[in-house]
Structure 1
Amino acid sequence: MSADLIAHLQDLASDFGALDARRMFGGYGLYHDGVMIGLITGDVLYLKTVEDTRERFRAAGGEPFLYARRGETVPTSYWTVPEAAMDSAQEMRPWLALALEAALRKKAASGKKRVAKKAPGKKKPRG
């Protein structure tokens, strides 16, 4: 079924841009121009969010992807889209755009952190 869902999503995103799906963790990562914007697991699409876009997903009835870790349920930054978006390219486009924006912002923020961590610091003199 996931192959059908992936093909359907690629059709829905035709005016947004090419989507690629890569197998991962029993599901698929969904990529736009090499940037992971979503995941598919259990034949459900979840799109990337960040703190200030998450509320739009929540307000539209979205739910986060959850997984179990050490006996606890952990929510992720990937959320479902409204049902109407799964049936209409016009309805899907804004959700894909939000996911891409979130993924790019997250990537840029993590890149800044990496640079900051690698920046040379003052060393204590040995002696």
Structure 2
Amino acid sequence: MGISDSYKEYVIDQLGEVGSVTIKNMFGAAGIYFDGLIFGLIADDTLYFKVDDSNRSDYERTGMEPFKPFSDRSMIMPYYEVPVDILEDRELIADWASKALLASRNSKRKSGKGRLLCEE
């Protein structure tokens, strides 16, 4: 398990149309932030974006799975794997990132906090 520097650089480059995106290492993964708000994760050189009811179907339609951080896989987080063909298209990835940012903002408003929320 790990994240290569080259994958992080590739993700930042692909998200160039979104604006100034930063990546911060955390708990064996990395968080992707825009304007101080986390909207994505990288784990094992795989990109995940924040989901809620507004964008979850986009991921499910393409057969993507939620991020499951623990080996027993009993806990899932509200982040889904981004399809490779979306990641490779700068315009599409910017659109999906915008939807993930909206999901993150909605989650922050509902919780009243800026922390990661987990689902059982």
* Smaller-chain TM-score bracket: 0.7 to 0.9
Matched to 1:96, the amino acid is A
SS in structure 1 of the partner of residue 17 of structure 2: coil
Cα distance in structure 1, aligned partners of 2:42 and 2:17: 20
TM-score normalised to structure 2 length:
0.83
Matching residue within 23, 27, 30 for 1:28: 30
Unaligned runs of 5+ in 1: 113-127
TM-score normalised to structure 1 length:
0.79
Alignment match, 1:125: none
TM alignment of 1:42-81, pairs within 5 A = 42-68=44-70, 71=72, 73-81=74-82
- CA RMSD, 1 decimal: 1.8
TM alignment of 1:1-127, pairs within 5 A = 2-68=4-70, 71=72, 73-111=74-112
Q: Which has the higher strand share?
A: 1
Matched to 1:46, the amino acid is Y
Higher relative contact order (CA 8 A, sep 6+): 2
How many residue pairs are counted as aligned between the two chains? Answer: 111
Unaligned runs of 5+ in 2: 114-120
